[in-house]
Amino acid sequence: MTDLKFAIFGTGFWSLFQIPAWFEVGGVQPVAAYNRTIARANEVAQRFGIPRVYADPQELLENERDNLDFIDIITAVETHAPLVHLAARYNIPVICQKPMSTDLASAEGMAAAFRGSGVPFYIHENWRWQAPVREIKNILDSGVIGRPFRARIDMISGFPVFANQPFLKKLEQFILTDLGSHLLDTARFLFGEASSLYCQTDKVHRDIQGEDVATVMMRMGSGTAVTVNLAYGENFLEREAFPQTLFFIEGEQGSIDLYPDYWLQVTTKTGKNRRRIAPPRYAWADPAYEVVHSSIVACNANLLCGLKGEGTAETTGEDNLKTVRLVFAAYDSANHNRVIYF
Does 180 bind ligand 89Y (CB under 6 A)? Our answer is no
Closest distance of CB 128 from ligand 89Y, Å: 12
Q: Are the CB atoms for 154 and 229 separated by under 8 Å?
A: yes
Closest distance of CB 232 from ligand 89Y, Å: 7
**For residue 222, which of 168, 150, 277, 279 has the smallest C-alpha distance?**
150
CA distance to 27, 172, 194, per residue, from 200 (Å): 44, 16, 17
Does 96 bind ligand 89Y (CB under 6 A)? Our answer is no
Left if phi > 0, otherwise alpha if psi is -120 to 50, otherwise beta: which for 257?
A: beta
Does 297 bind ligand 89Y (CB under 6 A)? Our answer is no
Largest distance between two CA atoms of the chain: 64
3-state secondary structure (DSSP) of residue 240:
coil
Closest distance of CB 153 from ligand 89Y, Å: 15
Compare residues 46 and 165 and give the one whose CB is closer to ligand 89Y: 165
CA 267 to chain centre: 29
**Which residues have a Cβ under 8 Å from the Cβ of 260 and sit 6 or more positions away?**
239, 241, 244, 246
Compare residues 161 and 213 and give the one whose CB is closer to ligand 89Y: 161
Binding residues for ligand 89Y, total number by CB under 6 A: 6
Compare residues 58 and 164 and give the one whose CB is closer to ligand 89Y: 164
Q: Of 50, 94, 161, 340, which lies in the binding site for ligand 89Y, with binding defined by CB under 6 A? A: 161
Does 292 bind ligand 89Y (CB under 6 A)? Our answer is yes
Q: Of 64, 72, 178, 185, which lies in the binding site for ligand 89Y, with binding defined by CB under 6 A? A: 178
Does 306 bind ligand 89Y (CB under 6 A)? Our answer is no
Does 314 bind ligand 89Y (CB under 6 A)? Our answer is no
CA distance to 75, 168, 170, 232, 316, per residue, from 162 (Å): 17, 6, 10, 10, 29
Q: Of 243, 251, 279, 306, which lies in the binding site for ligand 89Y, with binding defined by CB under 6 A? A: 243
Q: Are the CB atoms for 254 and 146 separated by under 8 Å?
A: yes
Closest distance of CB 58 from ligand 89Y, Å: 27
Closest distance of CB 87 from ligand 89Y, Å: 22
Q: Report the site for ligand 89Y in 40-59 (rule: CB under 6 A).
A: none
Residue 307, φ and ψ in degrees, nearest 5: -65, -35
* Cα distance between residue 326 and residue 218, in whole Å: 10
Compare residues 224 and 244 and give the one whose CB is closer to ligand 89Y: 244
Closest distance of CB 119 from ligand 89Y, Å: 26
Closest distance of CB 165 from ligand 89Y, Å: 6
Compare residues 91 and 164 and give the one whose CB is closer to ligand 89Y: 164
Q: What is the DSSP letter of 163?
A: H
Single-letter code of the amino acid located at 143: G
Q: What is the DSSP letter of 340?
A: E
Helix, strand, coil percent content, the chain, rounded in steps of 5: 40, 25, 30
Does 214 bind ligand 89Y (CB under 6 A)? Our answer is no
Give the binding site for ligand 89Y (CB under 6 A): 161, 165, 178-179, 243, 292
